[in-house]
Structure 1
Amino acid sequence: MNCPASADLIFTELDTHSIHHLPWSCKASSTLTSKSSSLVANSDCSTSNSGWNCTTTLALAPGSTSTLDWSASSGLPGVIFNPSSGTLSTGQTAQVSIFVPGGDCQNGTFSFTGPANTASVSWGCTPPPALEANLGNCTYSAGQGWSCLATVGSNENNTNTVNWNTSSSEGNNITFSPASGQLPPGQTAQVTITIPDTACPTNVTMTFSGLEGEYPVKVPWSCVAPMLTASEVDPGGNCSNNNTSYTCTVSLALPPDSQGDLNWSASSSSTAVTFSQSSGTISPTQPQQVIVIVPSSDCPGGSFAFSDSGGTITTVSWSCGNATSIATPTDTPAATSTDTPTVTSTDTPADTPTDTPADTPTPTDTPTDTPTPTDTPTQ
């Protein structure tokens, strides 16, 4: 027997044949209903970047006289109900928000179950056209920035023309040419992207979207920090000295083939050191010089540190002992006289006589007789 129903129960006494009537009845069980029997993506539900937001209203069926507890469920993964359960009394309604993730673009069912029945709401979703995009090569020009070539396309399985447009995380600073267009299924288009010169490292997201519910395609771009060099450029590599302080000249530069600017800041191991410029932005084509004043009280030496936006710290060491002094006139102290010690004479020893050797007689030549020549006889 289905409720509601009623009956008259009759009881007869056998002895007296008297009849007794006992009325009986049952009420219908409270049943659950949903205002929406079906929900369709993009028409019944609002869209977001991550899925769809739907709403339905639950109530008791007419004739229900008692409260009931209900709960919501779905065979689709990731669906969120808010609230996901509750209690309904006669005359009350409950509005339920349903979030459907973008990955659930397929047919399915939302179920709202009570003690006596389940109210089912069908979910329908036709996948939107697929948009494709990728970033090609980028060229850099110092002082101007980057020029990149991207390709945007409509998937060959699409059934309709895709109307696409562009945007970036940097707003209007990045330009696209063209910035929008139409693509039949299977067709592509080239887009030139201009990114102005900026300090690196940095990250940019460029987005290609469609007007037919296509999932946006996010294309990332980034640049790495160039390498900062810092060197002491005074003559001979020495800081100049004016007796009260040392003046050092440090040159900051980037390799000529670097891409992008670089933010930097200066510090020192001594708190008394001052910099002509304590921070700045440097480009590959424009080196910068920083004048550093070091009090003489900071001797014998220390270091300057140049930190850049890439997280690198470049250190320049200095030493007072290596500084080149600049001649500065000063008073010459008077010479202090000192007594010159007197040389003490000493007795000179007398000459010791030596024997004079006797004269050696000079030898005389012994005469030799000279023979008398004789006449040679004539024949």
Structure 2
Amino acid sequence: MPVVRLYYQDMERLIGASRETIMSRLAMMGADIGKRAEEEYVDVEFFPDRPDLYSSEGVARAMQGFLGIKTDLVSYSVSPGPVVVQVEESIKSVRPLIGCAVVRGLEFTDEAIESLMGLQEDLHWGLGRNRRKVAIGVHDISRVRPPFRYFGESPQRRFVPLDYSEEMTMEEILHNHPKGKDYGHILKDCPVYPLIVDADDRVLSFPPIINGELTSVTEETEDLFIDVTGTDPVVHKALNIVVTSLAERGGKIESVLVKRSEGDFLSPDLSPASWKVRTEEANRLIGFDLTGAELAECLKRMRFGAVTAGEEMDDIVVVQVPAYRADIMHSWDIFEDAAKAYGYDNLEARLPQTVTVGRAHSSEVRKGEIREIMA
């Protein structure tokens, strides 16, 4: 499972609570805090199904709700931005999907940079199948000039990769650069390689392998361009997680116009998804005895938007699921969060009414085997 390093002083600033309060409640939110604890930080683990908690900013956002400091759905403003990305036909057969955003006005500390880089790599693992489905690039946009192009390029194209001082061809990067050795198999047998360049044909990124040294992020960086490329629509969910985490640091999100032959779109889309859940079902599954209004209050503490459907429809709760939540696939996922807010220690212990032993369905076992083969 991903390990997230939480610096105590940083978390106190982000959450607005004392170290003692945070640590006393963190485990109740689903964190395993037994990994490593030092004087300045603690390493914690969360289940892989919560990629929005792969960063200190994501943990802080969730803890603010859990502690009752800030509840309800977080509203992130996305301002129209001037940046355009042109997606060319040459990339469609290799790595066709891309989502982008600009985040401005950041003040980076060592802890913030470490959190961002850790989030990036954990998302590569948790959502990206080790970059096969999703790869994230983070760039200092002040060093390049939009508009940007995303296209398929000859393997002989040269540029200076991140943390290097000399140019290499893309083919050489795959064979000689550490990241190329780790992830080059993703591009095996591809006739062209993915590349993102600026208006002056300077390289920002060679996804899913390595960024260019030109746009490396430092403590002096204030404005970021984020690209997320891949082969699965989950690229947009990964982008939402990154940009909202940066917004928790005070960043201002700007949209990017992505132009492509099948239709242009603005990225990111942070609109919440709307669900309707039944209080009766939640009570039956979890062991609650809540009204619709009480269930809604529990969900607000988990940073959902939640209201009852009306006085005569108190059993129905309308839930707004944040755009950064990648794990909500069923109403039961929502009920699980309500149970955390209610407190598992507040539930009455009951013996199960059945004595059967659960196991994975055969179709799910087969799907897992296929995913492992394709990873």
> Scaled by the length of structure 1, what TM-score is found?
0.19
Which is greater in Rg? 1
User: Whose relative contact order is higher, 1 or 2, with alpha carbons under 8 Å and at least 6 apart?
Assistant: 2
Q: Determine which structure has the larger helix proportion and give its number.
A: 2
Q: Determine which structure has the larger strand proportion and give its number.
A: 1
